[in-house]
Amino acid sequence: MENLISRIAMCVERGKINKNSPYPKDMLGEDGVEELVQQALAMGIPAGKILEEGLMRGMSVIGKKFSKNEVFVPDVLMSARAMNIAMPYLKSAFETGETKHKGVFIIGTVQGDLHDIGKNLVRMMMEGVGWKVIDLGVDTPPEKFLQAVKENPGAVVGMSALLTTTMINMGRAVKVLKDENPNIIIVVGGAPLTQDFCDKIGADKYCPDPQACIEYLDEKLNLSRN
Ligand code: B12
């Protein structure tokens, strides 16, 4: 079992999407993330373990290498694609079968920012615990968040930013939303953020990971007792 999880991590790191993918060349014809994740689920390995110890571990290794200029943007993109291919399989494993939604959660990566792996994970986990999620995608201008909130009164908003340069745009989006909807709940996340930054831009909560977001909203909206 540990071997399978390690192979998943390695395939994410190397950007090996599935058996048919021609990259990397030295792994031609070998199983990739798509096959290995399905095998792991079939063996009964919990989706959370596959996510944290397999997929996210692989992504963290490539992330560190990218930071040290040991790999380049195309390598990281291949890893991102390898990670994303696993999402539909994990999503169905996370699904609770609950039909009543906890509420509507609008999520997007802020303007200027194209990182979506973290956002996609949050989306998947939120759907898994019963939220109806509206995903606005990446590079989301404040007006797009505003429009989605108008169409979904009472929705909670989640914003993601991975770049110090786009954190400023997050502040702008929060202001636009709070000016028109003072009671709206906005949660923010992304590696460079802090609770201090969240307080400064007037958002409600900084969540370092999806679980923190789930727990915060459960408590804030009294959902765990429903
Ligand atoms: C993958 C990646 C890319 C991929 C993105 C592919 C994709 N589809 O997302 C590509 C190659 C395209 C890319 C491009 C760039 N990147 Co980049 N990238 C990364 C990398 C390696 C991993 C990010 C990631 O996906 N992590 C895994 C996910 C799961 O983690 P996460 O996003 O943090 O999300 C978790 C939490 O933060 C939280 N979370 C996130 N969002 C939200 C939202 C809510 C509401 C909640 C509750 C929680 C939450 O939950 C998630 C799960 O726990 C990081 C390095 C790193 N180690 O972080 C650099 C990094 C973020 N990138 C960086 C840079 C500089 C760039 C580029 C400018 C590079 C360039 N010169 O072109 C461009 C910018 C493009 C743009 N305009 O956005 C820098 C940012 C530096 C900074 N401080 O601003 C980093 C830190 C690398 C570095 N050290 O230099 N990148």
Q: What is the pLDDT of residues 101-116, one digit of tens each?
A: 789 999 999 999 999 9
Angstrom distance (rounded) from CA 182 to CA 143: 16
Angstrom distance (rounded) from CA 165 to CA 109: 13
Question: Does 66 lie in the same domain as 33?
Answer: yes
pLDDT in tens, 30-59: 999 999 999 999 999 998 899 889 998 898
87-96, 101-110, 129-138, 167-176: least confident range: 87-96
Question: Does 165 lie in the same domain as 195?
Answer: yes
Report whether 55 contacts 91 (CB < 8 A).
Answer: no
pLDDT band for position 60 (50/70/90)?
A: confident
pLDDT in tens, 155-197: 999 999 999 999 999 999 999 999 999 999 999 999 999 999 9
Question: Does 187 lie in the same domain as 114?
Answer: yes
Angstrom distance (rounded) from CA 91 to CA 147: 27
Question: Does 132 lie in the same domain as 109?
Answer: yes
- Residue 224 CB: number of other CB atoms within 10 A? 11
Question: Does 20 lie in the same domain as 88?
Answer: yes
Report whether 124 contacts 90 (CB < 8 A).
Answer: yes
Angstrom distance (rounded) from CA 18 to CA 185: 39
* Cα 162 to middle of ligand 1, angstroms: 5
Tell me, using a 6 A CB cutoff, whether residue 189 lines ligand 1.
Answer: yes
Domain at 66, CATH number: 1.10.1240.10
Checking if the pLDDT of 98 tops 50, the result is no
- Of 56, 66, 122, 136, the residue with max ligand 1 atoms within 8 A of its CB, to mutate for a pocket test, comes to 66
Q: Give the residue with greater pLDDT, 100 vs 188.
A: 188
Query: Is there a domain that residue 132 lies in?
Result: yes
Residue 160 lies in domain: 104-220
Quote the mean pLDDT of the chain: 91
pTM of the model: 0.81
